[in-house]
């Protein structure tokens, strides 16, 4: 079922009033890839009456008032993507299209949507005193003082700017149910894990970060604050944090405990319509559905820790996988969907081949604090999940009604090569059965100094060449015609024009491609790469780092790689748009 979006639908359900109203910057899409749908279904499953208002008009009270006032709280999210990333390029130009808006024209989502919607609720619900609770990626990544590229300054926690009551960060199914329960019972919700709030006092036991005012004027203070923030993101080890903003404190409780595999299975089995609500569909198709409608999320979290990616801070570093049975059940349910034609568009997660992987230490205590699981070398204690994924994919292929199950999520080629037992077998199976014309990997660059700044020192050119050779060998053996495509990035901190020329030379000579679409680094909030962009220093050494900040220079870096080049060059298939339609993370064009 869809959650109600109008009074009439509420009446149809026999609901006089709602407990919780969720407000989102996207059209309401009932899909397990969409945070607002998942949170709504989880709350419904816990016994609450929930409604959704998608993309309300901020110029009047008509939309925001159409469901009345909630009994417990308003939940506000900017949508699946930070609204500034969705609406604007890094240089502030407005994007014309929006995959989460019916009809595709970017004319419904306000800039800084979480703030705009919190203001809207206050303006048109003057008598209503229900708490306003922020959630979703925009709030999550802006929960402490953060660098904002669109104003080129450090901004306060969004909780202050939105004047909201609480902020739930990360994947918040557990904390949102707990919050609803405490509000219903009239209990104090301030101690809930995964929750941020504002306090006049500094609570005992909090680690105090440099204040917003210090971070604003002192880049060293900002670096210290970010490092402490980043190091306190794993549930088993994180401590409560406090950051002074003027005379008050932003308090961040430790993150919510991760859902177990069984709990994840339950969340994904709550029954989703895999469509936009008819209220929105009357205004046109929602493009994001092309990629998310028939895709399956197999796991959450990523221990890759690429510096430009927000997953570590939002989803967490420990991989949590669903059971094979739950994934197969979802595939079977898909085959009964009237629009299903036999193709599952993706079976994956932040990195497709992290499914089922991990180590005992990670399970018990979270990832090692001072050591990366895969860089510069894959940790010998990391248990690969390739064997499990192979079994899963084989079973998916045999589901009646499934003609093809594509792995479209990025594959970590370094992990494949490091798995001496199952790595090549896994790649062979992918190539033979689970690639749809092209397979995507994300080397991002070829030059060691740039890869180091990206937090990907293990993804060197030799590994890439070896992976490419294996891919084409297996493709030939399978008698198929398909390509390997590469996500490459320009203007990452530390990258110069000279580095881009070397990357171009490498791409032409060793990979035999000239990508037409190259991503220009975007400094999104709360990543290590954004920290380097803002401070122009390597945070691990404190040494100055070159950062190309001018629009012209950044475009020139891109043009070096994406411009027309000589030689026998393959084009097109090697240059897909990044897949950023799937929910909560930034492995997309806006990173
Ligand atoms: S022991 Fe190795 S695989 Fe396990 S968390 Fe630490 S670095 Fe990662």
pLDDT at 355 over 70: yes
Tens-place pLDDT, residues 71-95? 999 999 999 999 999 999 877 889 9
Looking at residue 459, its pLDDT comes to: 67
CA distances from 271 to 38, 40, 47, 319, 346 (A): 10, 12, 15, 24, 19
Pocket test for ligand 1, best of 316, 318, 359 (most atoms within 8 A of CB): 359
Q: 383 CB less than 6 Å from ligand 1? A: no
The answer, yes or no, to whether residue 566 has pLDDT greater than 70, is no
Q: Which residues make beta-bridge pairs with 513?
A: 570
Tokens (6 digits) for 185: 């019972």
**pLDDT higher than threshold 50 for residue 345:** yes
Query: Ligand 1: which residue has its CA nearest to atom 4?
Result: 359
CA-to-CA dists, residue 327 to 151, 264, 268, 338, 432, angstroms: 43, 11, 9, 19, 21
Which residue's CA lies nearest to atom 5 of ligand 1? 367
3-state secondary structure of 312: helix
Question: 343 forms bridges with which residues in the sheet?
Answer: 404
The one-character DSSP state at 2 is P
514 CA distance to ligand 1 centroid (A)? 36
Model pLDDT, residue 89: 83
Dist. CA 233 → ligand 1 center (Å) = 16
Please state at what angle helix 324-335 crosses helix 386-397, rounded to 10 degrees: 30
pTM, two decimal places: 0.93
Specify the ligand 1 atom closest to the Cα of 362.
5
Higher-pLDDT residue of 374, 267: 267
pLDDT in tens, 164-219: 999 999 999 999 999 999 999 999 999 999 999 999 999 999 999 999 999 999 99
Dihedral Cα 254, 256, 258, 259, nearest 10 deg: 170
Residue 234: strand pairing partners: none
For 7-196, CATH gives 3.40.50.280
- 513 pLDDT band, cuts 50/70/90, is confident
Report whether the peptide linkage leading into residue 376 is cis, meaning its omega lies within 30 degrees of zero. Answer: yes
pLDDT at residue 474 tops 50? yes
User: Over 60: is that where the pLDDT of 554 sits?
Assistant: yes
pLDDT digits (tens, 9 = 90+) for 228-239: 999 999 999 999
Q: Which residues contact 336 (CB under 8 A, 6 or more apart)?
A: none
pLDDT band (50, 70, 90) for residue 375? confident
- Is the separation of the CB atoms in 163 and 133 below 8 Å? no
Q: Which sequence spans correspond to the domains of the chain?
A: 7-196, 294-562
Task: Give the model confidence (pLDDT) of 20-51 as tens digits.
Answer: 999 999 999 999 999 999 999 999 999 999 99
Residue 292 near ligand 1, beta carbon < 6 Å:
no
pLDDT at 410 over 80: yes
Q: State the distance from the centre of ligand 1 to the C-alpha of 356, rounded, in angstroms.
A: 15
Residue with tokens 């190259």: 518
Average pLDDT over every residue of 229-252:
96
Q: For residues 585 and 336, what is the distance between their CA atoms, to the nearest angstrom? A: 28
Q: What is the CATH number of domain 294-562?
A: 3.80.30.20
DSSP string, 68-128: ---SSEEEEE--SS-HHHHHB-TTSPBPSB-TTSTTSBS-SPPTTHHHHHHHHHHHH-TT-
DSSP helix/strand/coil, 325: helix
* Tokens 């990258």, located at residue: 495
Q: Is the CB of 373 under 6 A from ligand 1?
A: yes
Residues in the chain: 591
Select from 323, 341, 345 the least CA-distant residue to 395.
Answer: 323
For residue 177, the 8-state DSSP code is H
User: Is the distance from the beta carbon of residue 381 to the nearest atom of ligand 1 less than 6 Å?
Assistant: yes
Phi-psi category of 343—alpha, beta or left, where left has phi over 0 and alpha has psi -120 to 50?
A: beta
Average pLDDT in the 412-435 region?
A: 95
What pLDDT does residue 370 have? Answer: 80
Ligand 1 centre to CA of 319 (Å) is: 12
- Per DSSP, the residues of 498-527 read HHHHHHHHHIIIII-B--S--EEP---TT-
DSSP calls for 145-175:
SEEETTTTEEE--HHHHHT-SEEE-SS-HHH
Question: Residue 516's pLDDT is what?
Answer: 66
pLDDT value for 97: 95
Which of the listed residues 360, 368, 375, 418 should we mutate to test ligand 1's pocket, taking the one with most ligand atoms within 8 A of CB?
368
Compute the distance between CA of residue 503 and CA of residue 447 in angstroms, rounded to an integer: 7
Q: Give percent above pLDDT 70 in the chain.
A: 94
Among the ranges given (123-137, 298-312, 320-334, 481-495), the one the predictor scored with the smallest mean pLDDT: 123-137
- According to the model, what pLDDT value does residue 563 have? 72
Q: Give the number of C-alpha atoms closer than 13 A to the C-alpha of residue 349, restricted to the C-beta side.
A: 25
d(CA 472, CA 466): 10
Ligand 1: does its nearest atom lie under 6 Å from the Cβ of 206?
A: no
Give me the DSSP letters along 511-571. Answer: I-B--S--EEP---TT-HHHHHHHH-B-TTT--B-----SHHHHHHHHHHHHS---SS-B-
Task: Check if the beta carbon of residue 211 is closer than 8 Å to that of residue 218.
Answer: no
Three-state DSSP string of 423-466: HHHHHHHHHHHCCECEEEEEEECCCHHHHHHHCCCCCCHHHHHH
- Between the alpha carbon of residue 444 and those of residues 282, 454, 547, 563, the distances in Å are 40, 9, 17, 17
Confirm or reject: Cβ of 367 under 6 Å from ligand 1: yes
Tell me what percent of the residues of the chain surpass a pLDDT of 90. 84
- Between the CA of 371 and the centroid of ligand 1 the distance, in Å, is 7
Label residue 444 by pLDDT band (50, 70, 90). very high
């Amino acid at each position: 079922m869809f959650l109600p979006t109008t009074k009439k639908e509420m009446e149809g359900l026999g609901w006089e009033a709602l407990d919780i109203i969720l407000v989102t910057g996207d059209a309401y899409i009932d899909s397990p890839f969409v945070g607002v749908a998942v949170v709504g279904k989880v709350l419904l499953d816990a016994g609450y009456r929930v409604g959704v208002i998608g993309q309300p008009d901020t110029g009047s009270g008509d939309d925001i008032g159409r469901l009345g006032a909630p009994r417990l709280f308003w939940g506000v999210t900017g949508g699946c993507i930070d609204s500034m990333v969705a609406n604007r390029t890094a240089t502030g130009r407005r994007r014309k299209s929006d995959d989460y808006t019916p009809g595709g024209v970017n004319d419904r989502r306000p800039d800084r949507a979480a703030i705009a919607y919190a203001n809207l609720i206050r303006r048109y619900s003057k008598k209503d005193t229900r708490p306003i609770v922020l959630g979703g990626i925009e709030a999550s990544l802006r929960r402490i003082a953060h660098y904002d590229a669109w104003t080129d300054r450090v901004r306060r926690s969004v909780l202050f700017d939105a004047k909201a009551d609480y902020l739930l960060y990360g994947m918040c199914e557990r904390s949102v149910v707990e919050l609803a329960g405490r509000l219903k019972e009239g209990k104090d919700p301030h101690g809930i894990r995964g929750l941020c709030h504002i306090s006049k006092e500094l609570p005992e036991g909090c680690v105090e970060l440099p204040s917003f005012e210090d971070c604003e004027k002192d880049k060293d203070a900002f670096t210290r604050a970010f490092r402490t923030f980043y190091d306190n993101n794993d549930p088993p080890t994180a401590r409560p944090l406090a950051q002074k903003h003027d005379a008050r404190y932003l308090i961040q409780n430790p993150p919510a405990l991760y859902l177990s595999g069984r709990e994840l299975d339950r969340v994904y089995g709550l029954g989703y319509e895999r469509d936009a609500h008819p209220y929105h569909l009357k205004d046109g198709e929602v493009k994001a559905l092309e990629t998310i409608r028939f895709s399956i999320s197999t796991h959450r979290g990523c221990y890759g820790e690429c510096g430009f990616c927000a997953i570590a801070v939002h989803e967490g570093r420990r991989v949590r996988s669903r059971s094979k049975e739950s994934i197969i059940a979802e595939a079977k349910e898909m085959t009964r969907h009237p629009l299903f034609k036999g193709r599952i568009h993706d079976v994956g997660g932040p990195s497709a081949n992290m499914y089922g992987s991990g180590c005992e230490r990670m399970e018990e205590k979270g990832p090692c604090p001072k050591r990366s699981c895969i860089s510069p070398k894959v940790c010998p204690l990391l248990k690969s999940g390739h064997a499990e994924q192979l079994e899963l994919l084989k079973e998916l292929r045999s589901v009646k009604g499934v003609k093809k199950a594509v792995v479209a999520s990025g594959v970590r080629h370094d992990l494949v090569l490091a798995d001496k037992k199952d790595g090549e077998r896994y790649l062979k199976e992918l190539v033979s059965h689970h690639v749809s014309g092209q397979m995507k990997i994300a080397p991002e660059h070829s030059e060691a100094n740039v890869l180091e700044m990206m937090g990907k020192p293990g993804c060197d050119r030799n590994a890439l060449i070896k992976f490419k050779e294996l891919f084409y060998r297996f493709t030939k053996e399978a008698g198929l015609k398909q390509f390997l495509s590469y996500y490459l990035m320009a203007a990452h901190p530390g990258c110069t024009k000279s580095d881009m020329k070397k990357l171009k030379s490498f791409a032409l000579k060793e990979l035999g491609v000239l990508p037409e679409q190259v991503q220009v680094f975007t400094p999104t909030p709360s990543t290590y790469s954004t920290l380097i962009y803002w401070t122009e220093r390597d945070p691990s050494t404190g040494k100055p780092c070159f950062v190309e900040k001018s629009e012209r220079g950044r475009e020139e870096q891109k043009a070096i790689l994406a411009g027309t080049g000589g030689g026998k060059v393959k084009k097109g298939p090697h240059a897909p748009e990044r897949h950023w339609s799937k929910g909560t993370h930034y492995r997309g064009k806006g990173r």
